[in-house]
């Protein structure tokens, strides 16, 4: 919690605790506030080379190293690392598990505390307060202060990570030199809210959810509901082209007309996605975080005037979308760019031609990697990093 942290060693990680807690938009206070995070690279003496990465709905802080639960590679290893677009030889890269998450930051699976911060001997569960994207950003600001960083060289993120990037630039404009909101929007659409609602209904409908108190039954979790939630979300992450190319109408095995069997490749794939996900994600966190996304509407406090949110901003922006992304379509990035232009902001925009859908921001898209890397190098040169 010191404001004068020493330069941090490579591969730093910690669960930082802030005794004073965090006051949330809903009025509740979470105290102490826990922020679990990972750092890659080395913070320079001027503390001017720090890049914050904000993760998406089901991401976490394990950006560029194997995941401790699944053992799979970090979720953005193709972008973050030595010599990569987010170059850890040059930049100090930080990623924190979001508030409301389930990888060590304060959230539904963590121990519940009372108003004085005393542990209650059981998880928060559904009694964890409602959080907003801005609450997530405020929690990250605590970590920033602890690290003694005055201004992020850049804040970067895709999907819900991009919502946090926008919220960072809106709430703490002087703390963000460059911002890269990717494959996102300034508000969550009705269709996206509706798909989230299906996922939540699936979790609520699973009797193993037990009104959110599944932690009372050691080992039992609402696995079926969470898997269905993941399945429907996963479809929205892929384009029709990507689904067709990967699975098309190929039948599995010969007995094409067996009732209730795994017949189409796509079904088996989705079932697999659903079942690995439940091992690493908490159902109540899924409810909390999807709700935060659904509430996101950056211009709401300005009566819908998005340009007013960014008027006079010192931040430079890099907005990127993907042509086949139908969850956060290019039209929504264009609306954001129009607002930034109207606010006289420094903004560049690129639509990447890709048939991989929303997931493209996580995948091997060389044009995207080149554009993002170039933007960050330009920002670094500006501040002399």
Binding residue numbers for substrate: 230, 359
Q: Identify the residue among 206, 282, 325, 365 touching its own copies (CB under 8 A).
A: 206
- 10, 185, 349, 374 from 335: Cα distances, Å: 39, 8, 11, 23
- Give the nearest distance from C-beta 199 to its own copies in angstroms: 9
Q: Identify the residue among 69, 198, 344, 353 touching its own copies (CB under 8 A).
A: 198
Asked if 204 interacts with its own copies (CB under 8 A), we say yes
Asked if 227 interacts with its own copies (CB under 8 A), we say yes
- Evaluate whether 75 touches 59 at the Cβ level (below 8 Å): yes
Nearest to residue 39, comparing CAs of 29, 53, 20?
53
Q: With CB under 8 A as the contact rule, which of the stretches 37-45, 49-57, 156-164, 206-214 interacts with its own copies?
A: 206-214
**Spatial CB neighbours of 67, under 8 Å, sequence gap ≥ 6:** 60, 73, 74, 75, 280
- Give the nearest distance from C-beta 161 to its own copies in angstroms: 21
Asked if 263 interacts with its own copies (CB under 8 A), we say yes
SS3 of 103-168: the string is: CCCCCCCCEEECCCCCEEEEECHHHCCCCCHHHHHHHHHHHHHHCCCCCEEEEEEECHHHHHHHHH
Q: Under DSSP, is residue 347 helix (H, G, I), strand (E, B) or coil?
A: strand
If you count them, how many residues does the chain have?
385
Q: Identify the residue among 86, 169, 221, 228 touching its own copies (CB under 8 A).
A: 228
SS3 content of the chain, % helix, strand, coil (to 5): 40, 20, 40
Asked if 26 interacts with its own copies (CB under 8 A), we say yes
Known binding positions: 230, 359
- Give the nearest distance from C-beta 123 to its own copies in angstroms: 14
Comparing CB distances to its own copies, the nearer of 251 and 344 is 251
Q: Is 39 exposed, middle or buried (0-12, 13-18, 19+ CB in 10 A)?
A: buried
**Spatial CB neighbours of 352, under 8 Å, sequence gap ≥ 6:** 320, 321, 322, 323, 360, 365, 367, 368, 371
Q: Identify the residue among 17, 25, 307, 377 touching its own copies (CB under 8 A).
A: 25
The residues that are catalytic are: 159, 325, 358
Measured CA to CA, the distance from residue 70 to residue 62 in angstroms comes to 11
Residues of this chain, 32-61, that bind its own copies according to CB under 8 A: none
Q: With CB under 8 A as the contact rule, which of the stretches 7-15, 154-162, 176-184, 262-270 interacts with its own copies?
A: 262-270
Residues of this chain, 269-308, that bind its own copies according to CB under 8 A: 270-271, 274, 287-288, 291, 294-295, 297
Site of interaction with its own copies (CB under 8 A)? 25-26, 126, 128-130, 132, 187-191, 193-195, 197-198, 200-202, 204-207, 212, 224-225, 227-228, 231-232, 235, 238, 240, 243-244, 246-249, 256-260, 263-264, 266-267, 270-271, 274, 287-288, 291, 294-295, 297, 326
């Amino acid at each position: 919690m010191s404001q004068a942290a020493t330069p941090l060693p490579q591969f730093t990680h910690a669960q930082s605790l802030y005794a004073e807690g965090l006051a949330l938009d809903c009025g509740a206070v979470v105290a102490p506030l826990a922020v679990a995070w990972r750092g890659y690279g080395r913070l320079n003496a001027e503390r001017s080379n720090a890049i914050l990465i904000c993760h998406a709905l089901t991401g976490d802080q394990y950006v560029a190293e194997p995941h401790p639960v699944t053992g799979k590679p970090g979720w953005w290893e193709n972008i973050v690392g030595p010599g990569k677009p987010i170059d850890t030889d040059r930049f100090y890269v930080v990623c924190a598990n979001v508030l409301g998450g389930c990888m060590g930051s304060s959230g539904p699976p963590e121990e519940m505390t009372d108003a004085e911060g005393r542990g209650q001997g059981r998880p928060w569960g559904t009694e964890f307060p409602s959080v907003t994207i801005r609450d997530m950003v405020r929690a990250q600001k605590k970590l920033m202060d602890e690290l003694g960083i005055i201004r992020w060289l850049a804040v970067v993120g895709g999907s819900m990570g991009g919502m946090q990037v926008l919220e960072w630039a809106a709430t703490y404009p002087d703390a963000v030199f460059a911002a890269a909101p990717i494959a996102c929007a300034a508000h969550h659409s009705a269709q996206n809210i509706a798909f989230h609602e299906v996922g939540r209904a699936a979790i609520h409908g699973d009797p193993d959810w037990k009104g959110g108190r599944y932690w009372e039954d050691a080992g039992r979790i609402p696995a079926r509901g969470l898997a269905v939630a993941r399945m429907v979300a996963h479809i929205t992450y892929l384009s029709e082209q990507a689904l067709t190319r990967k699975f098309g109408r190929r039948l599995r095995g010969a007995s094409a007309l067996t009732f209730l069997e795994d017949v189409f490749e796509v079904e088996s794939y989705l079932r697999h996605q659903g079942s690995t996900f439940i091992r690493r994600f908490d159902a109540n966190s899924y409810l909390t975080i999807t709700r935060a996304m659904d509430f996101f509407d950056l211009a709401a406090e300005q009566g819908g005037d998005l340009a007013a949110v960014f008027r006079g901003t010192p931040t430079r922006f890099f907005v990127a979308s993907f042509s086949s992304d139908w969850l956060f379509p290019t039209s929504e990035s264009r609306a954001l760019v129009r607002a930034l232009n109207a606010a006289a902001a420094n903004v560049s925009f690129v639509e990447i031609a890709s048939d991989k859908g929303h997931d493209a921001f996580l995948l091997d898209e060389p044009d995207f990697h080149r554009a993002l890397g170039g933007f960050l190098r330009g920002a670094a040169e500006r501040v002399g990093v």
